Amino acid sequence: MKNARKLCVDILNTVFSNEGYSNIILRNELKKNSFNDKDKALITEIVYGTIKYKYTIDKILNSFLKKGIESLEPYVLNILRSAIYQIRYLDKVPTFAAVNEAVEIAKKYSSVSASKLVNGVLRNYIRDSEKTYYNKNNLVESLCFNYSFEKWLVNLFMKQYGGKITEEILSGLNERPVTSVRVNPLKINYDEAYEELERLGYDIEEGYVCPEAIIINKGKNIEDNQLFTEGKITVQDESAMLVAPALGFCEELKIFDLCSAPGGKSTHISELSNDKAQIIAFDIHENKLSLIKENAFRLGINNILCRQMDASTFNEDLKDIADAVLIDVPCSGLGIIKKKPEIKYTKNNKALEDIIQIQRKIMLNSIKYVKPNGTVIYSTCTLNKKENMENINWLIENYPNISIEPIYFGNLPNLIYENGMVTILPNKYMDGFFIAKLKRNW
């Protein structure tokens, strides 16, 4: 079996070389190696924490390396990153243990000289713990360092939301995410599911905003739970759980979900319609349609038809057919950074601009697919206003026969309502998200 901290470095190496998402790589590695629950928890904490605080950690390391972090081989750099994270952010990990493990990993898997460098840098950091790494009189630099976000992203949020809400966003995106599950009323009622989870030893509470939600504070992997395997519950963030209810009454309706995989929102619509709505779930990747089918089968849902289609390319055969269309469009993902922290470093301003053109093509197609007086639900898991309300405003300016149908999910501190649309700020319970409801008036 691999050493736990060695595996952390291996995973970080893979993630920072842009070879995959941290959640997928981590899950696969933990499956391949037989670690106990304590070690799994430590590996998960170190991996996610090091990725989350990479910007801050690199600022620290650069101050102790004459030639900067660029002078280090990636493996040694990731040994240092993971060790600094443990020393700075994990109270339960003894400093000497973090240093000794880092030195040994460097010696065994890199070189003796690398182990000496690692030892020297970490000892210097510990000795100079009061050192200042940024201009404390500069708000942007302070936010960047304290919350570990790059300047372009902090500046984007500052410009769009102002200082107070920007700090709320950064704090929310650094929260440790909880697991929330959606109770499937086709198979079990809410109280029965709640009581069964308690009986199985889970530390749970009622959902933050959604009546179908149960929050899992502590317990074993929920996907290994009998309630999950029997389709009585399914994992979904509460922000995403708000999309299907925004449709309103949906029994007997024909509904298109244009960007459906893995099918969380399609299956939620099915549950809300008592499995009576006619749902066609589309995705650009044919291989991902199997995920929708698997989820529908597990949940006991029979009314979802899956088709492969590029939502950004207009399909004449679908014109004026649907009663409602859901478009959870591809986006920058800035609202789900707490679950995929590498998004902090893999996105940039150009990537954000490029995705907007795809989003607008999907929006225009969706409007053509609904019948007159039909409904379109537009949602994203980003907080970039250009991908959210600015897209909606652009659509209405160019197509005045489209109107916004106001939506309201209650008076909660992280929900911002503006012109009938809702922006969901990230917190412990919810991802950053945006939802708008549109009506075709011709």
At residue 415, the 3 state secondary structure works out as strand
The sign of the dihedral angle between the CA atoms of 233, 239, 244, 246 is positive
Short-list 429, 359, 347, CA closest to 388: 359
CB contact at 8 A, 331 and 347: no
Per the document, the length of the chain is 442
**Binding site as annotated, residues for S-adenosyl-L-methionine:** 259-265, 283, 310, 328
Residues 89/59, Cβ–Cβ less than 8 Å: no
DSSP 287: G
List the one residue out of 244, 253, 249, 295 whose CA is nearest residue 276: 253
Backbone angles phi and psi of 167, in degrees to 5: -65, -35
Are 87 and 126 contacting, i.e. CB atoms less than 8 angstroms apart? yes
Which helix (H) or strand (E) is 218 found in, with range?
Answer: strand 213-218
- 101 CB neighbour count, 10 Å cutoff: 21
**Closest Cα partner for 300 from 185, 181, 182?**
185
Q: Is 48 helix (H, G, I), strand (E, B) or coil?
A: helix
Q: Which ranges constitute the DSSP H helices of 65-150?
A: 74-89, 95-109, 112-127, 139-147
Q: Are 379 and 411 in contact (CB under 8 A)?
A: no
122 closest CA partner among 134, 105, 147: 105
Concatenated DSSP letters of 3-30: -HHHHHHHHHHHHHTTSS-HHHHHHHHH
Torsion angles phi and psi, residue 257, rounded to 5: -115, 105
Catalogue the active-site residues: 381
If we measure between CA atoms, which residue out of 116, 115, 168, 94 comes closest to residue 430? 168
Query: Three-state SS for 341?
Result: coil
**Amino acid (1-letter code) at residue 208:** Y
Strand duo 278-283 + 421-424: pairing:
unpaired
Q: How many CB atoms lie within 10 A of CB 40?
A: 15
Binding site residue list: 259-265, 283, 310, 328
> What residues form DSSP beta bridges with 255?
279, 324
Distance from C-alpha of 368 to C-alpha of 372, rounded to nearest angstrom:
9
